[in-house]
Amino acid sequence: IKFIHSIKRKLRKTDSIIRVTDKSGIFHIGSTLDYDEKVQRYQVKTNAYIQLSSDPLMDTFYKVVSLLNNLRTKQQITQWQHTKMMPDKNKIQLAYLYFIPKPHKTGTPLRPIVSGMNTPTTKISKMLDRLIRPLFDQYVKQTTIIDGVHLIRQLDKYVSLGLLKPSTHLCTFDITDLYTMLPQEESIAILKQFLIRFNHTHVRGMSINAIESLARIVLTENVFIYGNKYYRQIKGGAMGSPFTLTLANIFMWHWEQKLVEKQKASNELYGRYIDDIFLTSNDSIESLHDMLENANNYHLNIKLTREVGSCVSFLDVQINNQDGNITTSVYHKEASEPYIVPFKSDHPRHIFENIITTSLLRAIRYSSTLQAFNHEIRALKLMLIYNSYPSRYIYHYLKKFFQQLSATSISILPMIHDENEYVLLRSKLLSKPTPSEHARASRIATTLDNKHQNISVDPLVHAKVHKSDNITTFTCPIIIHYTHESRYAHYKSIIHKAWFESFYRTPEIEHKIKLVTYDYQIEAIKQEFNRQNSTEYQKKLMKQLCLKRDEKETTEQELKFLQERIDHFNAPDQSFEHSAIIDSIENVEIRQQLQQQYRKIIQQAKADFYLLSLQTAEEQRTRARLNYDNEVDKMYSIHHNALDFTILPLKMIDLIQERCRMIGERIQSVYNYKIECFRLKL
């Protein structure tokens, strides 16, 4: 905490700003003035944003609702899609723009991020990404690079075909500000062209025209706040929106066609990872630069920053053509810092083991030689030690990792010293699919033939139907305190399960025990009353008085329970003072008038209903109180006016009053349990 306060003081004193950096995840401290100047330069350079005069949130909401209702009416989207994409008026929020620094690039430029978790178009963006990304994965997989391992496999294949020469050029280039520079209408037209090219008039029941309309509203209604001002993005899409990535990929699929065809004709490699491209060439360096210069002029908005040579980096892979032999290793950006999750941080223990395991897997897969691997292992150990990982802990998990890979070799513990052994191990691991490849395969698996799909229901929900019996909702919260709570986060389900098995019905059991106790005491008083040689008249009198006490206490508690429920249904989050039909009306004036009328009617109806219910309950309580009081007065009147005190002696009166009291407490216990159960279900 002292460290955090010292940072805050320094930021205030030096007029600095702190941000998490792009990709590396570490913090960057810079001048606020420099930060603001870079933001202004970026806005001028891209010309992607226009300022608005007022808050556009509700206007965007009504546009989205109107479009979705219109598409559903025309049967261009299914009911489950309509439901999934419909925004919740009570939860929508305006997005906000912020910038993060990129210290790995010269001058530390900024990357714009639009944070819009609950904007009116968020659900549409997620739906379009969910429907279209699997199609892109399926049809453009030949020219898509998934990750570093996938690229290394492509290079190995290129070498095995005898295409690599000592003079082979390696080239990488990236597109400048791809997300921001996408032309909106042209991107939508290319999206439609992509679907038609691969014979998709519908995608899971959604028509191609609906996809076009929904894509347009996601792009054109990208509104947000920055620096207490409202903006609309008029070029490109929001970085942070799920659909923007898919749309950018499809736009680049169209852009790269000429380049792909040329590379295929020359038997050269070509692969793209979003806005980063890798290719090989055996042409002269002049011809290669001419080709790249032509590519730089394919589109006015798409500009390339290229690197050509015998040694290049792509993603996190260093690639080197050493006299006709490809060598690869892990690439660390010059500006990257050796920071990972510190060992002393508040994280579950398995996170630290996973960091070591994934780093070792990457080191083996990326390092084409034992020397490169050993170099990476040394760097890994230093990084772990720098982040407070104990040496014994590091050694233990290094040993565990290699033991799991080879049960026969002794030399593999905890390091590999034989080149042949390393080559075999690397070949084994390189052939296994990575998490990114698993994810893409899962998405592609959803692109089955439409005639085999039930488009009337959400396939994800349908797939989970048979698993619903295993889902447990815990209504009783358990708070467990540890020195480092989140490190033990995986214990939560275990603790809940143990509690569920042992104590789930504890409140119910305790309630039943109370009732049994009351019933026993009430019956014991009755038996004691009978032992007083009570007559039938006296027994009848006690029974009648106990019934009246039961009625009195029941009406008292019913009124309390009714007030509890009314308080709940009057809460703001239980309001139903808006109508989806009225919300869909485009005319603002008519919509507001109808909303006011609807709200008044609903509020008046609720007030009348609650008032009538309370009046009825209070009348019943008053009547029951009066009846009970009359019976009590009658009992004392019999006692005082009797000539013979044995007709109703004081001992019997005390027993009757005690029994009535116990009956009242029993009813109170029943209703207290009812109220507790009602609150738990909220």
The two tokens of residue 176 are 């400048």
Q: Is the residue at 318 inside a domain?
A: yes
Residues 157 and 200 occupy one common structural domain: yes
Residues 547 and 667 occupy one common structural domain: yes
**pLDDT at residue 461, rounded to an integer:** 56
Of 329, 352, 369, the domain-final residue = 329
Residues 261 and 407 occupy one common structural domain: no
Q: Is the residue at 197 inside a domain?
A: yes
Q: Which amino acid is at 457?
A: V
**pLDDT at residue 679, rounded to an integer:** 78
Please report, rounded to a whole number, the percentage of residues in the chain having pLDDT higher than 90: 41
* Number of domains, the chain: 3
In this prediction the pTM is 0.66
Q: What is the mean pLDDT of residues 451-465?
A: 55
Residues 540 and 656 occupy one common structural domain: yes
CA separation for the pair 74, 68 (Å, rounded)? 10
Q: Is the residue at 459 inside a domain?
A: no
How far, in whole angstroms, is CA 202 from its chain's centroid? 28
> Helix, strand, or coil here: 432?
coil
On average, the pLDDT of the chain sits at 84
Residues 388 and 534 occupy one common structural domain: no
Q: Which amino acid is at 333?
A: K
Residue 196 has phi, psi (to 5 degrees) of -65, -40
With cut-offs at 50, 70 and 90, classify the pLDDT of residue 680: confident
b/e sequence 248-282, b meaning 16+ C-beta within 10 Å? bbbbbbbbbeebbebbeeeebbbbbbebebbbbbe
Q: What is the mean pLDDT of residues 70-87?
A: 93
658: pLDDT strictly greater than 50: yes
622 DSSP 8-state letter: H
Residues 322 and 343 occupy one common structural domain: no
Q: Is the residue at 402 inside a domain?
A: yes
**pLDDT at residue 467, rounded to an integer:** 47
Name every residue whose Cβ is closer than 8 Å to that of residue 630 and which is 6 or more positions away in sequence: none
Torsion angle (degrees, nearest 10) of CA 622, 625, 631, 637:
-90
Q: Is the residue at 628 inside a domain?
A: yes
CA separation for the pair 529, 543 (Å, rounded)? 11
Residues 509 and 600 occupy one common structural domain: yes
465 DSSP 8-state letter: G
CA separation for the pair 211, 444 (Å, rounded)? 19
Closest-CA residue to 211 (of 221, 225, 196): 196
Task: Assess whether the previous peptide bond of 414 is cis (omega < 30° from 0).
Answer: yes
Of 329, 353, 373, the domain-final residue = 329
Torsion angle (degrees, nearest 10) of CA 102, 103, 108, 112:
10
With cut-offs at 50, 70 and 90, classify the pLDDT of residue 264: very high
Of 329, 358, 383, the domain-final residue = 329
Residues 295 and 403 occupy one common structural domain: no
Closest-CA residue to 507 (of 476, 464, 470, 548): 476
Name every residue whose Cβ is closer than 8 Å to that of residue 608 and which is 6 or more positions away in sequence: none
- The predicted-structure confidence for 488-500, as pLDDT tens digits, reads as follows 555 566 666 666 6
Residue ranges of the alpha helices (H) in 221-323? Answer: 242-255, 257-265, 285-296
Residues 324 and 349 occupy one common structural domain: no
Range of the domain at 90: 12-329
32: pLDDT strictly greater than 80: yes
Q: Break the chain down into helix, strand, coil percent, rounded to 5.
A: 60, 10, 30
Q: Is the dihedral of CA 249, 250, 254, 255 positive or negative?
A: negative
Instruction: Provide the β-strand partners of residue 231.
Output: 51, 224
Q: Is the residue at 462 inside a domain?
A: no
Give the position of tokens 């609702």.
65
Residue 537 has phi, psi (to 5 degrees) of -65, -45
CA separation for the pair 64, 121 (Å, rounded)? 7
Residues 390 and 248 occupy one common structural domain: no
Instruction: Provide the β-strand partners of residue 229.
Output: 226
Q: What is the mean pLDDT of residues 409-418?
A: 56
Q: Is the residue at 444 inside a domain?
A: no
Residues 321 and 345 occupy one common structural domain: no
Q: Is the residue at 476 inside a domain?
A: no
Residues 310 and 402 occupy one common structural domain: no
